[in-house]
Amino acid sequence: MTSTPENGSEPEVFAAPEIADAATEIAPLAPGISLAEDGDRAPVVPNPEGVPEQYRPYPVSFVRRSARLTAGQESAMSRVGDDYLVQVPRAHASTSVDPRVSIDLPTVFGREARTIVEIGSGMGECVSAAALANPDNNYLALEVYWAGLAQAISLADRAGGVPNLRLIEANAPEILDALPAASLDEIWVFFPDPWHKARHHKRRMVQPEFADQVARVLRPGGIWRLATDWEPYADHMREVLRGRTDLVPVIPESDGVVERFEGRVLTTFEEKGRRAGRGATDLAYVRA
């Protein structure tokens, strides 16, 4: 048996050549994806199971959940998954991005248009509804939860196809680093995992370094929208952003707080919070 990240077994010394070749095959890069140097490509690994996330020297904002798909998700993924999923070369972990990657969005979408990125799109309810309602915009969803990506694809498929939607299975900050500066019109971060315990706060996605990454990829006038139903996380987000001169509240003197964004549909996640008595805080900042 040939060694794979899934089975973790020792490589077989006398593996049949065609099996060894298949295991080390380097997939061609998807349109719009390029690497800084040619020649020395990392293999593209679409979705290997069981690859630990501990390769990164910093805490990540997620723990990987089961990738078990429903029959409907499985079917949508196998029939039309390739229309939506953008494969990127990995570094180590299955959700990592080779640091040499750069992403050309007009090529990925096949057109120039206002581009909105949703980070942590969950089951894809919000981004697929927005893409359907606004066919003139491009929407890119970044998510590490495979079943969530599959559900987004299933929703798009059931809607008859959503050509202005793309998804990437990856740790979102690594994708931001692969995008050109000033290439996005909006970034959405709705209900990021709150990491309640103080010792886990370092895993919260919204941190000063993440705000730097957002500021780099938003065009001047671009908007960063956030929402959370965990009041201490809303406070934390405002603290991270307070006093920045590159990302300023959309409503001056508001400390970031805005009315509910009308483009943010009620997701199952938010609904569950509502039933538990939690209301959402919406924040919005503009790239100066």
Ligand X SMILES: C[S@@+](CC[C@H](N)C(=O)[O-])C[C@H]1O[C@@H](n2cnc3c(N)ncnc32)[C@H](O)[C@@H]1O
Residues marked active site are found at 193
Q: Closest CB to ligand X among 98 and 143?
A: 143
Smallest CA-to-CA distance from 249 within 285, 282, 214, 218 is with 285
Nearer to ligand X, 81 or 173 (CB): 173
Return the residue matching tokens 């998510």.
Answer: 143
Q: Which of 187, 181, 241, 247 is nearest to 217 (CA)?
A: 181
Question: Judged by CB, which is closer to ligand X: 62, or 109?
Answer: 62
Q: Which of 102, 153, 98, 99 shows the shortest CA–CA distance to 127? A: 153
Q: How far is the CB of 207 from ligand X (least distance, A)?
A: 11
Query: Is 190 annotated to bind ligand?
Result: no
CA 130 from chain center: how many Å? 16
Q: What are the helix and strand counts (H, E) for the chain?
A: 9, 10
138 is annotated as contributing to ligand binding: no
Question: Of 86, 118, 112, which is closest to residue 101 (Cα–Cα)?
Answer: 86
- Interface ranges with ligand X (CB under 6 A): 60-62, 119-122, 142-145, 148, 171-172, 190-193, 205, 267, 269-270
Least distance in Å: CB of 7 to ligand X? 25
164 is in an annotated binding site: no
Q: Phi/psi class of residue 220: alpha, beta or left (left: φ > 0; alpha: ψ in -120 to 50)?
A: beta
**Residue 267 marked ligand-binding:** yes
Q: Look at the alpha carbons of 268, 189, 34, 18 in this order and tell me if their dihedral is positive or negative.
A: negative
Structure-block tokens of residue 104: 């050309």
269 is in an annotated binding site: yes
Q: Name the nearest CA neighbour of 101 among 27, 178, 44, 159.
A: 178
Which of residues 60 and 241 has its CB atom nearest to ligand X in the complex? 60
Residues belonging to the binding site are 118, 143, 171, 193, 197, 229, 267-270
